[in-house]
């Protein structure tokens, strides 16, 4: 059954149902995979390799937020200085690639330009099957980059390409994206607080 599977006349009832599905979506994320994602990201940050992030639509906004939360917030009060790059960060580059080469190469092209073995890639895609996401993930995997995918629905091809897949069991775009956003925040906050002493954790806002 999909959500919503019937019409609602009351927005409060709809929100209650949405919140319930959101809680179940969060609970569906495999905790071992979450620990593996934490280790993957921490390793990249400790080695001062570069982490690239990409997504389409709402996922592009999550990818953009990933840069500030991981590149800026993690290094506040810690010894880590993450290098994080949003592959859709340049509007002129994005539109030039889409216009001159093809939208399916909008992430793989800049990744081929900038990425090096030992770097990492995070793909954020509800379907996990957007062609530009899949091409970037496959190029990264083939060229020595570590791949972390955030997916929903059936997981798509990117789930199978990734070294670590954080999969959300849900079939509603908003719920999947909200859970991906929460995962992005939780990963950043967990990595940050783990590098701080207790008084520092207690003395700041996350």
Q: For residue 87, is pLDDT > 90?
A: yes
Average pLDDT of the residues in 53-82 = 96
Residue 105 has pLDDT above 90, yes or no: yes
Rounded mean pLDDT of 132-148? 98
Domains: count for the chain: 1
Query: 200 lies in a domain?
Result: no
Q: Are 194 and 183 in contact (CB under 8 A)?
A: no
**Torsion angle of alpha carbons 176, 182, 188, 192, nearest 10°?**
-150
Q: Phi-psi category of 104—alpha, beta or left, where left has phi over 0 and alpha has psi -120 to 50?
A: alpha
124-to-61, 106, 120, 194, 199 alpha-carbon distances in Å: 10, 14, 13, 24, 34
Query: Is 12 inside a domain boundary?
Result: no
pTM here is 0.95
Q: Are 67 and 34 contacting, i.e. CB atoms less than 8 angstroms apart? A: no
- The answer as to whether 133 is a domain residue is yes
Helix (H, G, I), strand (E, B) or coil at 130: coil
- Tell whether 22 is covered by a domain: no
pLDDT at 1: 59
57 falls within a domain? yes
pLDDT above 90 covers what percent of the chain? 97
Structural tokens at position 77:
């009060």
pLDDT at 155 over 90: yes
Task: Give SS3 for 84.
Answer: strand
Tens digits of per-residue pLDDT, 23-38?
999 999 999 999 999 9
Q: Is residue 20 part of a domain?
A: no
The answer as to whether 71 is a domain residue is yes
Which CATH number do you get for residue 127? Answer: 3.40.50.10490
Residue 11 lies in a domain: no
Range of the domain at 185: 30-195
In the structure, what pLDDT confidence band is assigned to residue 54 with cuts at 50, 70 and 90?
A: very high
């Amino acid at each position: 059954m999909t959500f919503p599977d019937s019409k609602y006349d009351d927005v409060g009832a709809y929100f209650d149902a949405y919140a319930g599905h959101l809680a179940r979506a969060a609970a569906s994320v495999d905790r071992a995979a979450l620990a593996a994602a934490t280790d993957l990201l921490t390793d990249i940050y400790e080695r001062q390799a570069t982490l690239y992030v990409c997504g389409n639509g709402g996922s592009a906004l999550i990818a953009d937020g990933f840069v500030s939360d991981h590149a800026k917030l993690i290094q506040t009060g810690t010894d880590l200085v993450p290098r994080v790059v949003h592959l859709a960060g340049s509007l002129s580059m994005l539109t030039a690639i889409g216009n001159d080469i093809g939208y399916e190469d909008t992430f793989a092209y800049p990744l081929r330009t900038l990425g090096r073995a030992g770097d990492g890639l995070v793909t954020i895609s509800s379907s996990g099957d957007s062609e530009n996401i899949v091409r970037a993930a496959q190029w990264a995997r083939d060229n020595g980059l570590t791949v972390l995918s955030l997916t929903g629905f059936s997981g798509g091809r990117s789930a199978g390409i990734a070294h670590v897949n954080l999969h959300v069991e849900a079939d509603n775009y908003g719920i999947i994206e909200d859970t991906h956003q929460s995962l992005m925040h939780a990963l950043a906050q967990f990595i940050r607080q783990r590098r701080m002493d207790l008084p520092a954790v207690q003395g700041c806002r996350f």
